Structure 1
Amino acid sequence: MIAKSPVPGRVKTRLTPPCTPEQAAALAEAALADTLATLDRVPAGRRLLVLEGEAGPWLPPGWQVVRQSEGGLDERLAAAFAHAAGTAPDTPALLVGMDTPQIGGALLAEPLSPARRTGVDAWYGPAADGGFWALGLARPTAELARRLLLGLPMSTPETGQALLDRLAANGLTVGHLPVLTDVDTIRDARHVAAEAPGSRFAACLRLIGAAPEMTR
């Protein structure tokens, strides 16, 4: 998982306004906790949190924290795969972000199970805004990660298609995960909370939803 520490003014800035920086950070922390809890339920040999900032009480036990590398998001994603490949060669790796707290354990565990992995080289989770929320590689290497990710245009409506094009150009058979909504705007936040009403994220949004600025 790649994430930022939920520090006011540094995370979920597109939620402000209508949220205050503190409210946006609270929503980010809830999303982070929800995603970590889900990933805890997915069978895995190791769990890495590639983190910008410092870990907090939201981090469950059993996770290895790795500091994010310098550079753009493309470079940081490539470095995360390189680290995973270096610590466990020839082992599949799935990278997800902290913006989709609605993911459930079955959504990941079923397509990534040994029975379903046969013949699949990569897994791609498309985001509704044209980006992607997950990328998995059956046999990750630092070189492959660089070919797939370095120079990839990030945070555009064409990001996901550009990644799919690179996966195809590298001859990889892709398994597709469901389309999910990333939490970027308050509209996204309300949509995601409605999809996962029992989540920490939804509870946090309900808690701050009565504030006057949140009624817009």
Structure 2
Amino acid sequence: MTRPTVILFARAPRLGLVKRRLAAGIGARAALRFYTATLAAVARPIGRDRRWRTVLATTPAGARAPWARFVPRATPRTEQARGDLGTRMERAMRPHPVTVLAGSDIPDLRPADIAAAIRVLGRADAVFGPAEDGGYWLVGLGPRRPARPFAGVRWSTRHALADTLRNFAGRRVALLRRLRDVDTAEDLAAVGRSA
């Protein structure tokens, strides 16, 4: 049996280019420190896990970064496609019959979450990890998926998950635990309080 593919979306860790909304509240250097620490804490254990094949999908195009600090050297890397988030996710997931895609900046994301998503895909067509803000931190797709799974989604709004779920009408969908992604200083404070 072919191992499922796990795709981690990552942005090159550059001052002023990562976590801009967070940087507005805590400063660009602090936002970069948060991002690189979270990227390493999330990507390294997921990339080392042999239950799946991990691919690091990076942006912006052509960006050089010390990726080996964050994932095992043998981890394949690919550039994210152009377009909105939905287009980039759909193109990254399309070649893989069973795939899980997650952001690399979710502080509480663990290999156990990836394993849970893969298990669910044995009986569901799709799985989502809902976020506190109405979006989602993970999406997993099996072979039975809509042609345009992320069409018409209002990204970066409280409607993102609900909009996506409409594209999966008539299909079996499962939800994982709810996590908080960190986009703002308020999110960071909330994660700190729950730690």
Q: How does the TM-score come out when normalised to structure 2?
A: 0.83
Which amino acid in 2 is paired with 1:9?
Answer: G
Q: Name the SS of the counterpart of 1:18 in structure 2.
A: helix
DSSP 3-state at the match of 1:34 = helix
Give the one of 49, 55, 71 matched to 2:65. Answer: 55
More helix by share: 1
1:95 equivalent among 98, 101, 104: 101
Contact 2:100 2:139 in 1 (8 A): yes
Structure 2 residue aligned with 1:44:
51
Q: 2:141 aligns with which of 137, 148, 152?
A: 137
What does residue 87 of structure 2 align with?
Answer: 75
In the alignment, which residue of structure 2 is the partner of 1:150?
A: 151
TM alignment of 1:1-216, pairs within 5 A: 1-40=8-47, 42-52=49-59, 53-56=63-66, 57-61=68-72, 62-82=74-94, 84-85=95-96, 90=97, 92-113=98-119, 116-139=120-143, 144=146, 146-168=147-169, 171-196=170-195
Aligned length: 183
CA distance in 1, matches of 2:122, 2:24: 46
Letter in 2 for 1:63: T
Higher alpha-carbon deviation: 19-28 or 99-108: 99-108
Cα distance in structure 2, aligned partners of 1:58 and 1:194: 28
Letter in 1 for 2:148: R
Q: Structure 2: where are the runs of 5+ without partners?
A: 1-7
Displacement of 1:111 in angstroms is 4.5
Quote the offset at 1:20 in angstroms. Answer: 2.1
Partner residue of 1:206? none
The code of the aligned residue for 1:183 comes to: V
Look up the SS of the partner of 1:156 in the other structure.
coil
The residue number in structure 1 matching 2:5 is none
Aligned-residue RMSD, C-alpha: 2.1
The answer to whether the Cα contact below 8 Å between 1:128 and 1:180 also exists between their aligned partners in 2 is yes
Structure 1 gap segments, 5+ residues each: 197-216
Q: TM-score, normalised by structure 1?
A: 0.76
State the alpha-carbon separation in 1 of the partners of residues 122 and 104 from structure 2. Answer: 28
Which secondary structure does the structure 2 equivalent of 1:107 belong to?
helix
Alpha-carbon distance in 2 for matches of 1:132, 1:27: 20
Larger radius of gyration: 1
50-59 or 174-183: which moved more? 50-59
